[in-house]
Homo-oligomer: A and B are copies of this chain.
Amino acid sequence: MIEIDKKSDTPIYEQIAQRIISQILSGSLRPGERIPSVRQLARQLSVNPNTIQKSYAGLLENGIIYSIKGKGDFVANNLNALRYMKKKELITELVQLTQEAKQAGLWIDELLSTVDSAYSERLI
């Protein structure tokens, strides 16, 4: 089940793409599996079909899904590449955040223990 926040400042089409990617990464959508049709998802989220279309176009372009005319859109067999991409992205963000925190005067201990406890916590 996908949920979006229309008030958020990250565009809806990107929110949807992120949700789908995270569903793939978490295994709740598997390679080869069909994802909801544009119209169906549009109805379900009460969002303009154009917006869904834009999400899917992005996923298609990055090889995360493939589409078969007349049948629908399916999760591609890219799981490892996808994981790798996401991982690199997260590491980059983490490096930036750490350096910013250092400059702002936080101690390394605070950062490490924050990461440690956040990792152990049960996800919401």
Report if A121 contacts B (CB, 8 A).
yes
Q: Which of A86, A98, A102, A112 has the most B CB atoms < 10 Å from its CB? A: A98
Integer count of this chain's copies in the complex: 4
Residues of the B chain whose Cβ atoms lie less than 8 Å from the Cβ of A7: 66, 68
Secondary structure of the A contact surface, majority rule: helix
Q: Is A25 an interface residue (CB 8 A)?
A: yes
CA distance A119 to B25 in the complex (A): 28
The answer to whether A94 and B108 touch (CB under 8 A), given A7-B66, A11-B69, A68-B6, is: no
What is the interface of chain A, defined by CB distance below 8 A to chain B? Answer: 6-7, 9, 11, 22, 25-26, 61, 66, 68-69, 83, 86-87, 90-91, 93-95, 97-106, 108, 110-112, 114-116, 118-119, 121, 123
